[in-house]
Amino acid sequence: MTEEPQAMTTTDPAVGETLLSLRNVEKSYPTGPTRTWVLRQIALDVAQGDFVTLMGPSGAGKTTLLSILGMLDGEFDGEYWFAGEPAHAMKPRQRQELHKKNVGFVFQHYHLLDDLTVYENLDLPLSYRDVPRKERQGRVAEALDRFGIVAKKDLYPSQLSGGQQQLVAVARAVIAEPKLILADEPTGSLHSSQGMQIMELLKKLNEGGVTIVQVTHDERVAAFSKRTVLLKDGWIVDRL
């Protein structure tokens, strides 16, 4: 019987016990008589309140690893423990429920729904979690105020700048109070000043206790995190 990894404490007072643990995680695809490896023997712990950057060249496996952490991809070998739960042993529906309750995503290209207003985009993840309507209204109003986008609530994504769209995307990611935020190149489609604004926002959320794992190619963006994990050809090659 597989034992659950023990909780890990860190020397950083801003972080706590382990939120997620990967043990010997591997991912590959069949290519004719052989296999193409995307991830190899990944071992990684992320503590509650941590802020981790995944870096590496294209094809290193960063986005694949992020998909596994977000429980969007369950086709891998090895173990993935999330808040003490064995995500690797769950059926797809169980894993989806764990994802819905605990994970928020921020993507490079925003992924807002074009036919919904800002208000409706923020309301949607709460409706997926069966939050009562009155409580949803309160949470959306609070998020609009917190992120300074009250005046944008009735606008559609096409009426917003890139920076404003990413601001809404971050608000949507945190509105359901997830334990983990996963950000895939969160500044990749933004001008430099807009990108730094988003990173300052993510840093502030992390200082408030939100755990964040991000993928980036930009060292300036990586500098906002507490530590960096370097990948190459599917392997973790360094930890900074």
- Domains of the chain in start order, with CATH, are 50-66+91-239 (3.40.50.300)
What's the average model confidence in pLDDT over 48-68? 94
Counted residue by residue, the chain has a size of: 240
Q: Write down the pLDDT at residue 102.
A: 92
- Rounded to whole angstroms, the Cα distance separating 118 from 147 reads 12
Q: Write down the pLDDT at residue 1.
A: 38
- pLDDT over 90 (residue 146): no
- pLDDT over 80 (residue 135): yes
C-beta atoms surrounding 18 within 10 Å = 21
* Cα torsion 166, 172, 178, 182: sign: negative
Q: Write down the pLDDT at residue 166.
A: 85
Q: Write down the pLDDT at residue 109.
A: 77
pTM of the model: 0.85
The two structure tokens encoding residue 100: 């819905």
What average pLDDT does the structure give for the chain?
88
